[in-house]
Amino acid sequence: MGEAIEPKKLIAVINAFAITTSEFLNHFCTEAHNKLSQVNHQIEKIEALTALLEYKLNSIPAEQLAPPPKPVEPGQPAQEEEQQPAKEVVPDNLKKYVRMVEVGVPRPAVKHKMAADGEDSSLLDKYLPPEA
């Protein structure tokens, strides 16, 4: 067989390995912590912006959300407005979701929000015309 390594050299090699490994792990842990802190900060900013946007959407009166009437061209009869079917009255608990769709929020996002709030998302299709 070979010669045995001197105990002092063996201890020095093991200590050097332990030191470099612990330095690497400390550096890795610090970098991971910094990156996770950055991601957490970005998530907090997004949550704050989302809350602000929801507040702004809820503060818009329903009258402002209705689309403006189309201008009547001289050659068209004014009877088109009378031919439109009467809208169903939207329940109070669904008004904010209908308003979100009317403002331009994608329908799947509104349905997801309804599900998150405990509302039946299939009711949205009942009170709004189908997507084009």
Residue ranges of domains in the chain: 1-59, 88-132
Return all residues near 60 (Cβ < 8 A) that are at least 6 apart: 99, 103
Helix (H, G, I), strand (E, B) or coil at 77: coil
**Using one digit for the tens of pLDDT, what is the confidence trace for 65-110?**
666 667 767 666 555 444 444 456 778 888 888 888 888 888 888 8
Tell me the whole-structure pTM to 2 decimals: 0.41
Please enumerate, as own/partner, the contacts of 38-43 that have beta carbons within 8 Å and a separation of 24 or more: none
DSSP SS3 for 36: helix
Distance CA 18, CA 120 (A): 59
Which tens digit of pLDDT belongs to each residue from 18-66?
999 999 999 999 999 999 999 999 999 999 999 999 988 888 876 666 6
